[in-house]
Structure 1
Amino acid sequence: MPTLPTQKTQVDEDFNASAVPLTARLGRWQVTMSFWSLLSAMVWLFYGALAASLFGTMNAIIAIAASAVVFSLVNIVMARLSLRHGVNSTLLTRNIFGRWGSLLTAVLLAATVLYYAVFESSTLALAFAEYFGAGDIRIWYAVVVVAMLPLMLGSVQSWMAKLNGYLLPFYFIGLVATLVAASVKFGGDSAWLSFEGVVPAEGRTLPGWVLGFILYMGIYITMPTTADFARFGRREDERFHEVVTFGWVFYLLLFVVNGVAGIYLVQTVLPNEPASEHGVVQAVLMSLGLFGLLFIVISQTRVNSVNYYVASTNLERILHSLSSVRLPRVVWVGAVAVLVFLLMLTDVFSYLQTALNWQGVLVIGWVGVVLTHFGLTDRFRMTFVVASNR
């Protein structure tokens, strides 16, 4: 593994205002395991269950497969651009939107990922409240935020890969165990495959699989996030990262495995209830009990490491663009924790999906502009003048 530059300022700011130099690039495993912390989010199980609940199981599976293909293709471009030039999503768009326009990229990414951190933290707090059956939910909110905080201080260069690499096998073991337990306890027949969805065919403006695909477009936030991680990859590992870390291998696990698992779990355990965030937690706990709670803890620890990382680094970029103030990483992570806790107190599940839908529209627009711009640039040849524009 290469040794990072010794300049303390560069390490402290995580190369937020400059390209990652070739000497600071990281090995395959470190980049992959850091980014793959996204794999274990409960939201991916929820999206699969939601798509099936609305438009039917088979339509949802088609939509999930189509989404995996599209996301894989688009992120080849995102990963390639960021890896070759070592730039994050904000610097990537500076040549498109200008210095102040690119600031909107950081704002959009910070806000969206912050909401996902709230979602995942609230899911864990809900799991504790559901399992122990007592106590004010606000106390569990505080417990989750405080307990998670020390684990969220890692960066891509330090120990984020180790944390998520060690926990990844336990996540998949827990997922398989949950599905097996659900099948044994609640009957593993094929009825879940024939569910038609609560939205009748005559009430759909488009085919069900298309509507499911549109639903998944709201998760385009993974595309600018790809740029924030791909910048640490070595150029000789470009093909590997395009296929495995950010490509079809990743989205096969992220969307297909998690999505189908979420569909099966909710349709098997709670067949008569609409898909909801609470429903996913209930289904896991009803299937595995205490081990289900541990499974949720592991999944939320993994995914919140990347949520806190992306949110804190983008908040730092915002302040860096507006002033010369420099704050240590622990301050930014602490700020994210405070914001997450305050948002959790607002009954976040009542409006979270609406907020993410609006932010999803903005992210889709961002992706469209970036792809169009670089598609019109001769073979993606672009000069990033980032150091002089700090």
Structure 2
Amino acid sequence: MALAPDISTTPPQLKTASTDDPKVVAEQLADDYSNHVVPLTARVGRWQLTMSFWSLLSAMVWLFYGALAASLYGTTDALVAIGISVVSYSLINALFSRWGMRSGLNSTLLSRRMFGVLGATLTALLIAANTTYYAVFESSTLAVAFQHYTPKMDIRIWYAIIALVMLPLMLGSVQTWMGKLNGLLLPFYTLGMLAAVIVAAVKFADGPSWLSFGGVVPPEARPLPGWLLGAVLYMGIWLTMPTTVDFARLGRREDEGFHRNITFGWLFYVWLFALNGAAGIFLVRAVIPDEPTAETGVVQAVLATLGVVGLLVIVVSQTRINTLNYYQASSNWGRVLNNLFGLRVRRPVLVAATTLVAFLLMLTDVFSYLQQALIWQGVFLVAWVGIALTHYALVPADREGGPEFRAQRLPAVTWGLGVWALAAAVGIYLAEAPSVPPLLSSTAPVAALVISVVLYAVVVKGLPARRQTHTLDPRTEVADPKATWIECHACTKSYIAVEMDRDVNAGGAPVCDACATARKYRR
């Protein structure tokens, strides 16, 4: 444990309060405490949080993953893989939701103890890049749906229209109207998809044949059973794990059981994977059975069954999911800017910038490289989950209130970052190298997971944690650090004592973590 520069024996007195700072409350209504601990007073009601997070339910990608797994390995194996995914996702995210609610930390702050202050920035960067790519994917599928009815119009015009029309709807936060918008639209999406399945069953008379489809990859060409390969395919979307932390931090402690089972738990994943996946399999097999499963296949199937009504269902679907994509992308881009450059940009500005980037990416042949990019990032996220779970299991002191995260008390990087990089590098090599045997290349995410767990366990047990400390800690200078607000000398705003520290470069004046982070690495 390294010793930080000593603080004066008579540091400035703390300016404390027992209520929220009105300036912070007003500012954070849009930013949702993106770079701060969420105080108990800013937590939201159970349905407000549920409807905000459940915007994930309506992404076309969940239908596509089910259809893709069935197309490759057959319907039966795909359904088994979906069942495995429902169980594994439910168990892991029940743990992450509990950790997020009890600590009030987002996934980046939660990662600092494992990877270091700068190292944890990679968490924010990965989430920002992934959700930006998914925003591009979902917006592009919506543009394809509109072009279906206007074949002579340049699709780039639809890209621009969708970006501009969607922008105002992407500005909501969990604390404001994100949950209300998604709660209002959820019944329309649900009824629309149910109608599409019923019409497909009647109009295309597929009957039970969709269940007997065996997949285009013959059994002798599969290095592992189809159901296992399908489960590995679903590991590519472990992005939901850190996303769970980012939303759970806004939940109330008294709602923990509800959120563990409903919002982030088994009911959510039954709907997300089982119902959506089965719908995607049926629609594609019934409506376009002779075409290869592509990213836009589900859109074609919905339009073929419901016509213009199907277009409206897709609009609702994409509006809902993009509220989450833009929320996560903008919040995490903001964390990257603060951690690397000391820049704090308001989230509405970041939403506008993300929209511009998404539009520019849509102008490229997005579907040609999107899946490859997500494979790489998916391996990184699988390794992140492995390290986070291992830390939770082996460091019980960090479970209840979360790990130490304050910028002045942790190093820039840790051995955990090296483990993360190595595990991801091995996973990417196995997935991409042409000389790798099919058995290994098809299980690259599993290899990354195993390496991350084993090596991080060695690091935790075998190497001393590098932490910095100094004499005084605001957390111990107040009676209740979760219910006492302290004014930061740098921004003159007050945050709860849990995130405050004594500034070693300002004579021990109190400083919030966002300011401490910005000052620590500002060039």
TM range (shorter): over 0.9
Where does residue 129 of structure 1 map in the other structure? Answer: 147
Aligned match for 1:173, one of 191, 199, 212: 191
Identify the residue that residue 286 of structure 1 maps to in structure 2. 304
After superposition, give the CA deviation of every residue in 1:106-162 in whole Å (9 maximum; x if it has no partner): 001000111111100000000000123220011111111111001000000110000
Equivalent residues in 2 for 1:303-322 (5 A)?
A: 303-322=321-340
CA distance in 2, matches of 1:50, 1:65: 15
**Partners in 1 of 2:123 and 2:355 — Cα distance?**
21
Q: Is the 8 A contact 1:5 1:11 kept in 2?
A: no
Q: Report the equivalent of 1:191.
A: 209
Q: Tell whether the 8 Å contact from 2:138 to 2:318 is kept in structure 1 after alignment.
A: yes
Whichever residue aligns with residue 93 of structure 1, its letter is S
1:36 CA displacement:
0.1
Change (3 A) 1:224 1:183: same
Among 380, 384, 390, the alignment partner of 2:404 is 384
C-alpha distance in structure 1 between counterparts of 2:168 and 2:259, whole Å: 29
Letter in 2 for 1:223: M
Q: Which residue of 1 aligns with 2:435?
A: none
> Which residue of 2 is the match for residue 79 of structure 1?
97
Shift in Å, 1:320: 1.1
Conserved? CA contact 1:129–1:140, under 8 Å: yes
Corresponding residue for residue 140 of structure 1: 158
Kindly tell me: are residues 190 and 77 of structure 1, through their superposed partners in 2, closer, same or farther at Cα, counting changes over 3 Å?
Answer: same
Instruction: Tell me, yes or no, if structure 1 residue 33 matches structure 2 residue 51.
Output: yes
Q: Hey, which bits of structure 1, 4+ residues long, moved more than 4 A?
A: none
Any unmatched runs of 5+ in structure 1?
Answer: none
Q: Is the 8 A contact 1:112 1:356 kept in 2?
A: yes
Q: Count the aligned residue pairs.
A: 388
Deviates more, 1:149-158 or 1:275-284: 275-284
2:70 pairs with one of 47, 52, 57: 52
Q: Residues of 1 paired with 2:29 and 2:207: CA distance?
A: 53
Select between 179-188 and 366-375 the one with higher mean Cα deviation. Answer: 179-188
Cα displacement string for residues 246-287 of structure 1 (whole angstroms, at most 9, x for unaligned residues): 000000000000000000000000111111112111111000
Match of 2:87 among 26, 49, 69: 69
Work out the CA distance in 2 between the residues paired with 1:383 and 1:329: 26
Q: Is the 8 A contact 1:76 1:247 kept in 2?
A: yes
1:208 aligns with 2:217: no
1:371 aligns with 2:389: yes
Give runs of aligned pairs for residues 275-354 of structure 1, distance below 5 A.
Answer: 275-354=293-372
Which residue pairs with 2:256 in the alignment?
Answer: 238
Q: C-alpha displacement at 1:99, in angstroms?
A: 0.4
More divergent stretch after superposition (124-133 vs 240-249)? 124-133
- Secondary structure in 2 aligned to 1:218? helix
Alpha-carbon distance in 2 for matches of 1:383, 1:285: 49
C-alpha separation in 2, matches of 1:153 and 1:78: 26
Q: Alpha-carbon deviations, 1:201-233, whole Å to 9, x = none?
A: 000000000000000000000000001100000
Percent sequence identity over aligned pairs = 59
TM-score by length of 2: 0.73
Tell whether the 8 Å contact from 2:82 to 2:231 is kept in structure 1 after alignment.
yes
Is the partner of 1:20 in helix, strand or coil?
Answer: coil
Instruction: Assess if the C-alpha contact under 8 Å between 2:30 and 2:173 holds in 1.
Output: no
What is the distance in 1 between the residues matched to 2:312 and 2:101? 36
For residues 131 and 4 of structure 1, the distance between their equivalents in structure 2, rounded to whole angstroms, comes to 52
Larger radius of gyration: 2
Q: Structure 1 residue 183: deviation in Å?
A: 1.2
Counterpart residue identity of residue 273, structure 1: E
- In the alignment, structure 1 residue 224 sits paired with structure 2 residue 242: yes
Does the 8 Å CA contact 1:131/1:285 hold for their aligned counterparts?
Answer: no
User: Could you tell me which of 31, 35, 38 is aligned with 1:13?
Assistant: 31
> What is the RMSD of the two structures over their aligned residues, measured on CA atoms?
1.4
Amino acid at match of 1:384: E
Contact 2:113 2:404 survives alignment (8 Å): yes
Query: By how many angstroms is 1:185 displaced?
Result: 1.3
Amino acid of the residue matched to residue 298 of structure 2?
A: V
Q: Shift of residue 324 of structure 1?
A: 3.4
* Letter paired with 2:106: N
| Distance in 2 between residues matched to 1:373 and 1:331, nearest whole Å | 35
Deviation at 1:81?
0.6
Kindly indicate whether the alpha-carbon contact (under 8 Å) linking 2:29 and 2:176 is maintained by their aligned counterparts in 1. Answer: no
TM superposition score normalised by structure 1: 0.97
| Cα shift at 1:385 | 4.0
Q: Secondary structure at the match of 2:44?
A: coil
Alignment of 1:263-278 (within 5 A): 263-278=281-296
The whole-number CA distance in structure 2 between the counterparts of 1:194 and 1:129 is 33
Q: Summarize the Cα distance change of 1:300–1:5 in structure 2 as closer, same or farther, 3 Å threshold.
A: farther
In structure 1, C-alpha distance between the alignment counterparts of 2:290 and 2:356, rounded to whole Å: 37
Match of 2:268 among 225, 237, 250: 250
Letter matched to residue 328 of structure 1: R
1:151 equivalent to 2:169? Answer: yes
User: Over residues 168-199 of structure 1, what are the superposed CA-to-partner deviations in whole Å (9 max), with x where a residue is unaligned?
Assistant: 01110000000111111111410000000000
Aligned to 2:15: none
How far apart are 1:31 and its partner, in Å? 0.5
Q: Residue 93 of structure 1: SS of its match in structure 2?
A: helix
Q: In the TM superposition, what are the counterparts of 1:89-108 in structure 2 within 5 Å?
A: 89-108=107-126
1:330 CA displacement: 1.8
Pairwise CA distance, 1:18: 1.4
Q: Given that residues 31 and 173 in structure 2 are in contact (C-alpha distance below 8 angstroms), is that contact kept between their aligned partners in structure 1?
A: no
Q: Distance in 2 between matches of 1:356 and 1:105?
A: 15
Structure-2 change in CA distance of 1:195 and 1:5 (3 Å):
farther
Following superposition, the deviation at residue 366 of structure 1 comes to 0.5
CA drift at 1:4: 7.7
